[in-house]
Amino acid sequence: MGIIGWTFVWVGITFSIYIGIAVWSRVADTKGFYVAGQGIPAIANGMAVGADWMSAASFISMAGLISFMGFDGSIYLMGWTGGYVLLALLLAPYLRKFGKFTVPDFVGARYYSNTARVVAAIAAIFVSFTYVAGQMRGVGVVFSRFLQVDINLGILIGMTIVALYATLGGMKGITWTQVAQYCVLIVAYLIPAVAIAYTLTGNPIPHIAIGEVVPRLNELQTQLGLNPYTGPFSNLNMLNVLCITFVLMTGTAGLPHVIVRFYTVKTVRDARWSAFWALLFIGILYTVAPAVAMFSKLEILQSFADMGASGMQNLGWVQNWAETGLIKTQQWQAGMGVEQLLGTIDRDIIVLATPELANLSAWVVGLVAAGGLAAALSTASGLMLVISSSLAHDIYGEIINPEASEQKRLFWGRVAIFGGVIVAGLFGIYPPGFVAEVVAFAFGLAAASFFPILVLGIFWKRCNQQGAVAGMIVGLAFTFLMIVLMRAHVVVPGVGEPILESFLGIQAQGIGMVGMLLNFIVTYAVTLATPAPPQDVQDIVEQIRYPRELTDEELQEAVA
């Protein structure tokens, strides 16, 4: 059986499992729909967090970025992993103890303001749609290459699957589907990495094989006129490396679709254990990604050194990916440099093409395709739930019609998910950049809008509603405007060049750092210039910082 046949087999099996779980876990109340009834075991929630987190950007694109950027690509590893540490230490247990359904729910209650709730809901929707664009594009890439269908048709198929299991089971269905998707994607990621490590070095452990591959890769890059692979700041200067890494860290801690997962467990203790399991499960993939990046880069450069661009056109994997338009072989010519050749290869294909690069069996290639789909769909479904809860719970259920019945809230929640899927598909069909690059913008927006008000909301009881609203608006508006100006040639029709190259030397992916600092400054200044929060709100903030419930006497002592 060939690659297409095996891909159909794996995709058919995994999609059947997802749909079966959706039917089994369908819910009939809003608590089940938004927070899975708060009954998910910690280890299962850790796997679901891992799947939610390991999006198309992590599974498909991250290794490609590291492969092409070398040392500078480590910003994605350090930023995304470090962000989870921030989330586990600074936010997750406290938000769980606060006991709400969503991030806007927390903001609305903590800042005793429906205005703050609406601003947070709009920010959550904005961030989620930016993030989901990358996921849908990833689904289209996988379908296009492995099932030989048009990218846009692949996106439509992915939209249908997500809409089915998200509307039926809500958070409960999404959670158990993500557990299954984590199993699929991690197996799909590890098998080719282990096989290639053994082929290249005789050692099946990718982390150890790197030690032998790095010197060969550095030497080959130098021979071909490139900077050494491990040489720092070849693609980004130090300022942008620092800004982008910090934005990815704080953006991770502020992403609403990740935070909401910690509302689904029974207790604060379970929330802490969920964070531990999530770090473990995420770490398995993140420590292998640099190995995949180096293995694939070595294979490509070695092929170029041995046969040149003309000879490479006869390779099977090149011909297969050229048919999708993701390798532009029509630009290849005899005598071209390696840098020109690398510029014609879409970075998003690296992980998906790795099994073919190493001549692995067709069933491995098909499994990797199923893993890529699992990664993209798991994150897309989590984002759809954030969009649904922001619209149907935070805006409709809490502001427009607080007296709405359970059935009506559930109905509008499902309608919101369905509408969100359609808009997400359009973003996937017309994406504003590479998958991981689009996702990085979502982190900038999350860092500039949510991270400051969540941290201050937990650790500074003097922080009030006026400061939080002003800080969110300033941070989000500044970051969005800067990204549009710097990416105008991609997102604004008819504009051929960026309107602004950088802001104080900081590029678009790192501009959320400035937006976040502005948010902190504005929130602090406005808070001090306006009245303090009511005493009962300050007492709640004091309570959530302790693992157990304080008695009235203990609370008075703590406040004093």
The residue assigned the tokens 């809901």 is 121
Tell me the C-alpha distance between 350 and 528, whole Å.
51
> pLDDT band at 559, cuts 50/70/90?
low
Give Cβ neighbours of residue 314 (< 8 Å, ≥ 6 apart): 307
Q: Do 14 and 370 touch, CB atoms closer than 8 A?
A: yes
Tokens of 421: 């899927």
- pLDDT of residue 310 exceeding 70, the answer is yes
> pLDDT band at 85, cuts 50/70/90?
confident
Tokens of 465: 């509603």
Give Cβ neighbours of residue 371 (< 8 Å, ≥ 6 apart): 59, 184, 185, 186, 187, 188, 189
Q: How far is CA 339 from CA 225, 302, 335, 344, in A?
A: 9, 14, 12, 9
| Stretch 4-17: mean pLDDT | 88
What is residue 560's predicted lDDT score, i.e. its pLDDT? 65
Q: Phi-psi category of 397—alpha, beta or left, where left has phi over 0 and alpha has psi -120 to 50?
A: alpha
The residue assigned the tokens 């490590």 is 197
φ, ψ dihedrals at 345, nearest 5°: -105, 120
Cα 252 off chain centre by = 8
| Stretch 107-111: mean pLDDT | 91
Reduce the DSSP state of residue 378 to 3 states and report it: helix
350-395, pLDDT tens digit by residue?
Answer: 888 888 887 888 888 888 888 888 888 888 888 888 888 888 888 8
Does the predicted TM-score (pTM) go above 0.75?
Answer: yes
64-83, pLDDT tens digit by residue?
Answer: 888 888 888 888 888 888 88
- pLDDT of residue 120 exceeding 70, the answer is yes
421-447, pLDDT tens digit by residue?
Answer: 888 888 777 765 545 556 667 788 889
